[in-house]
Amino acid sequence: MTDTLCFQEGSTISIGQFIAEATLFAAQLPARGYAINLAKDRYLALLGFAAALIRGHATLLHSDPAPVRLAALAARYPGAYALADFPLPATALQIFTLYRPRAAAPHHPAPVIPAGQLAAIAFTSGSTGEPSAHEKPWGAINATAFAAAERFGFRTQDGAPTNIVATVPPQHMYGFETTMVMPLHANIAIHSGASFFPGDVLKALESLPPRRLLITTPLHLRALLGDTRQPATLSGVISATAPLSPAIAEAVERDWSAPMLEIYGASEAGSIASRRSLHEPDWLPYGGISVSGNIVSIPGIGWVPLADELETGPNGRFRLLGRLADLVKLGGRRASLGELNRILTEVPGVEDGIFVAPSDIESNPAARLSAYVVAPNLTAEGILGVLREKMEAVFLPRPIVLVPALPRNALGKLPQAALKGLQGSNV
């Protein structure tokens, strides 16, 4: 078991040091409340989460520092306060600046957290409407972390420690589970610094000793593969948040000589299954997790309905058919907007793109899909010509709107508000 929990600015932070610093910081927090952890530095985010947990506070997984968003959370969760490692705009919230207390003698015992204690509250991304809250007890979070560590070989008995660089923010459920919770239970250490742009990611990977693992998304993988530089040797790459195209999976395994893995999960359930993208079309649930239709059984939580349509097989695996909100029916035919998006972004010369269904698609027989596409060197007619060969005519987008960029968030998602703004700008 590694004693290193984090690599920060050329130095290492031990597990004992972390426990001591989190215990000291917890004493500075109010007696009651909810933590809104906005930290950008991954170690400080982990420190803030642990301090709130020790204090008995749930962390609201939210990353938007806009005053209006913070005010809405404060109204919904009385006593909420903000943790940040950067200056925040004026707000009615009490603000605590995250820093390392740096205990001189890190001999604090590891705190015991009751399994039933509420540890975090996750929110849907807002890509399909108003975000909804999902409570995460400490015991349920632990169960998922242990199951994932077993699946990916992160336990002490599985060999050398794994050192993680992640492009996903710790406030998102995917980043929270893999880089905030799993390090507390598995034989892994995290990199704390900037790792969003390709140059930052490559530099971070180079700074770590083997065994290196990249936690990322399809959007970030496209950018990394477009860079001519080769990353440091990787033991694996894990992607989530959106379906991964076969072309990207093949490029990772071919060019980086690393297994390309995917995690399936959702805010309401957390991560529940995985697959090796090139070799496994179906998803294998983690140990202790079972799937029936679009309902999943989570240890410590029970049965949870998902927003996706799943097709379960006799061997315990399941196939993802698409998000229920993304399934569209035209001319008696059904398709997933996610799958149509994948086809669109695989058109040579298309840098990004998304299909959009009109609000009256269920009631208007003449309704058609549209698409917003980032393709600086292509025409709408040229893109349409390629799509004709790859999808049924009824799903061809009318119109195709060429735009300089899509207003994606840090995870590559397009929240409903951003999408409406994009549509409104092209009316």
Per-residue pLDDT tens over the stretch 378-398: 999 999 999 999 999 999 998
| Residue 329 one-letter amino acid | K
pTM above 0.85, yes or no: no
Together in a domain, 193 and 336: no
Together in a domain, 57 and 164: yes
Region 258-262: mean pLDDT is 97
Together in a domain, 162 and 289: yes
Percent of the chain predicted with pLDDT > 70: 93
CB of 171 within 8 A of CB of 142? no
The helix/strand/coil state of 357 is coil
Together in a domain, 303 and 373: no
Distance CA 19, CA 24 (A): 9
State the number of CA atoms in the 13 A half-sphere of 137 facing the CB.
Answer: 12
- How many independent structural domains does the chain possess? 2
Judge whether residue 337 has pLDDT over 70: yes
The model's confidence at residue 127, banded by pLDDT at 50, 70 and 90, is very low
| pLDDT given at position 427 | 47
Give me the residue label for tokens 């993802």: 320
What's the domain range around 409? 331-424
Q: How many residues does the chain have?
A: 427
Residue where one domain finishes, among candidates 295, 321, 347: 321
Region 140-153: mean pLDDT is 92
Cis amide prior to 275 (ω within 30 degrees): no
Is 85 part of a structural domain of the chain? yes
CB of 40 within 8 A of CB of 200? no
CB of 181 within 8 A of CB of 59? no
| pLDDT given at position 411 | 67
| pLDDT given at position 339 | 85
Together in a domain, 236 and 349: no
